Each structure stands twice: as C-alpha cells, then as structure tokens.
Structure 1
Amino acid sequence: MLTDAELTVLGLVVERPRHGYELDEVVEERGMRDWTALGFSSIYYVLGKLRDRGLIAEVAADRAHAKAKKTFTATDAGREACAQAAEAAIAELRPVHPPVLAGLANSPVVPPERLASALARRAEAVDARLAEVRRAAAAQPSAPSFVRAIFDYSISRLEAEAAWLAALPEGTP
C-alpha cells in the first residue's frame, strides 16, 4: 500500500527519471499540493522510503561531487506498484474528511451573523481557488491528458461547492 504522497512521487519518477528539486517543481506546476500532503522537504523523505522498498533506484551517473543532485528512476517493481496503487485510487471510493463537514455538524453553536460571515468567506475562498486552478490549467494547454483530467476534476469539485454555497439560504447551512 502506498500513501498518496508516495504514489504521487513514484508516479512522477515513473514518468521519467527525476531528482528531488525537479519533483518539487512539477508538484508546484501541476498544483499537486492542493490534493496531496507533499511539502518540499517531504519529497526527499518519500524518495528515501521508495528507494528502501526497491521501487526506485538512483540513476548511475557521474556526479561532479558528492552533493550533486541524485536522479532516481523507477524499478520494474516500482512501475507495477504504481500501476496497482493508481488503479485502486481511481476505482475505490474512499472516505474523505474535509473539515468543513465537522464545522457544519457544529454550526448550530455559531451565532447566525458569524455563520453567515464564515460561509461568505468560504465562498470567496472557493471562488479565488477556482480562478487559480483555471489559470494554472490555462497556462498548460499542452499538458498530457491525465494532467488535464486532474485540473478538470478539481475545477468540477470547486464549481460544485460554489454552486452549493450560492444555493444556501443566506446564513444557513
């Protein structure tokens, strides 16, 4: 079983051999931090775990010095593990735990004016995030179809939440 962060890093290394800094650039460029907990420093930790499990290996290359960037490539076992984990992640409906649901479950204790304000702030944040994702998608018109699918999915979810928020009677969940 791979964590979301492990699957994300492994998938990027399966695409092509990469070093940690390049992985961080791709994660940032594709907006992957919006849907996986993968910070810059955790990329190196995940690479080490994947290497230790035999799913990736360092590319044998002449490095100018010991501190030069290590490039990793997927092993056959890594490609298979990635395929299996990706298939399961796509096919299985897994529970998610968005904090907004805990907030809504407890919204009766929030004074009405504060609840209305919180919902308005959420609507603004959703609109702003939707604009950011649309800009990121538009900036990559030649992205591979699987990257486009991620943007499309993210946009659809944000649009659905924006519509839900807009349909609420004012100040009530």
Structure 2
Amino acid sequence: MSTISNKEAALLGLLSVEAKYPYEIEKEIYNQSMRDWTEISMSSVYKVLAKLEEKDLVISEVKMSESNRAQKVYTVTPRGRRLMQGWITARTAKWEKSLWPIDIAMSNLALLPKEEIIENFRSYIQSVDESIKCYNDLLGYLTEHCQYHSLSLATRPLLLLQADRKWAEEVLAHYEQISLSLNRKS
C-alpha cells in the first residue's frame, strides 16, 4: 500500500468532506489556519494535488464555472479514502516521536555564558506564554463553532505548552541559582 505525506494527508482530509476547486481548498486552508498546524502552504496546493492525482488518490474533472471558465474540481477516490483512513488510524493508535530543535540547543548549552542562558529562558517562557494565550483564544473559538474532535487542535498544544513552560521554569531556576551562587562567591 502506498504511503502519503503529511501535506497529502492534509489535502485528502479536506477533499474527503466534499469535492473542491483549488481556490476552495486554499480558502479552507486559510479559514482553518492550517498553515499553523500542518505543513501545507498556499504555494504547495497545486503540486500536492498533482501528486495525489498521479497516485490515483484524487481525480479531477473539468467543469465550467459561473463565469464560463473551465476549472478543475478534485474528488477523493475510494482508494484515497481508504489510504486516508489508514493514515488517521496509524496516527491515532500509536504515539509518534517528535523531534524538537530545542533538544539540540540543550545538548550544546554549555557553549553559552550563564547570563545569556538566563536571558534566553526568560524570553523562551515569555514566548510560550504568548502561544498559550493564542491557543486559549483558539480554544474559545473552536468550542463555539466546531465539533468536539476539532478542540484537540487547541487542547493538545495547550497541554504541551504548559508542560514546556514548567520545564523551562525549572531550567531557568537552575541557572539563576548557579548565577546567584557565583555572585555570592565573588
């Protein structure tokens, strides 16, 4: 069985709801803020649609628009639907490891002076707080306008951010304690 990329899955998911013209897909990507939680971008839509069509996961049909222009409308094939269902099952049945660039930074943290580490982690915590606010706002919107499963687009990142904040506070406290000890010895 063929595999699909995250970008392909994002488009298959949109097309699984109903057939769409590319401009409708782009509008939906914008409306759902999908650029914030997927790898899909406006510039990649046509390229990904071509790949999906090549793999026989979607088909396109040329239709005349109201303005009498020929436009392609894309529909998921039965094979595309089965593959998308398998992709969803694989992602929801087993935890997948994520790679975090912060881990590379942490493994090399000794390259920075303590004062800079403290300053960086204060800034890091501030940026986490800003993200928490954004996701709380998103959660409010999703709660009012979307189905339950869509809430996870905010609740999961919120839980991860809260854990990340706690971790960053512990790192900051450690380096502040070291700095305080060094200042006392001076």
Which of the five TM-score ranges fits, normalised by the shorter chain?
0.7 to 0.9
Q: Deviation at 1:163?
A: 2.1
Q: Deviation at 1:121?
A: 1.5
Correspondence 1:1-173 to 2 at 5 A? 1-59=3-61, 61-63=63-65, 64-66=68-70, 68=71, 70-140=72-142, 141-170=144-173, 172=175
Query: Where does structure 2 lack aligned partners over 5 or more consecutive residues?
Result: 177-186
* Structure with larger RCO (C-alpha < 8 A, sep 6+): 1
Q: Which amino acid aligns with 2:132?
A: L
Q: CA RMSD in A?
A: 2.1
User: Aligned pair count?
Assistant: 171
Q: Which amino acid aligns with 1:38?
A: I
Q: Deviation at 1:171?
A: 6.0
**Would the aligned equivalents of 1:17 and 1:72 in 2 still touch at CA under 8 Å?**
yes
CA distance in structure 1 between the partners assigned to 2:136 and 2:21 by the alignment: 28
Higher deviation after alignment, 34-43 or 105-114: 34-43
SS of aligned partner of 1:96: coil
SS of aligned partner of 2:145: coil
CA distance in structure 1 between the partners assigned to 2:117 and 2:28 by the alignment: 38
* Misfit runs of 4+, over 6 Å: none
Higher deviation after alignment, 140-149 or 94-103: 140-149
Q: What's the CA shift string for 1:108-166, capped at 9, x where partnerless?
A: 11111111111112111111112112212222322122211222111111121122222
Q: What's the CA shift string for 1:81-124, capped at 9, x where partnerless?
A: 10001111122332221111100111111111111111112111
**Would the aligned equivalents of 1:56 and 1:73 in 2 still touch at CA under 8 Å?**
yes
**Would the aligned equivalents of 1:113 and 1:171 in 2 still touch at CA under 8 Å?**
no
**Would the aligned equivalents of 1:13 and 1:73 in 2 still touch at CA under 8 Å?**
yes
Q: What's the CA shift string for 1:20-78, capped at 9, x where partnerless?
A: 33333333333432332211101221111111111112245323214x4x331211111
Q: Which amino acid aligns with 1:101?
A: D
> What TM-score do the two structures reach when normalised by structure 2?
0.82
Higher deviation after alignment, 53-62 or 4-13: 53-62
Higher deviation after alignment, 53-62 or 151-160: 53-62
Query: Where does structure 1 lack aligned partners over 5 or more consecutive residues?
Result: none
Distance 1:19 1:114, change over 3 A: farther
SS of aligned partner of 2:59: strand
Structure with max Cα Rg: 2
The structure with the largest helix share of the pair is 2
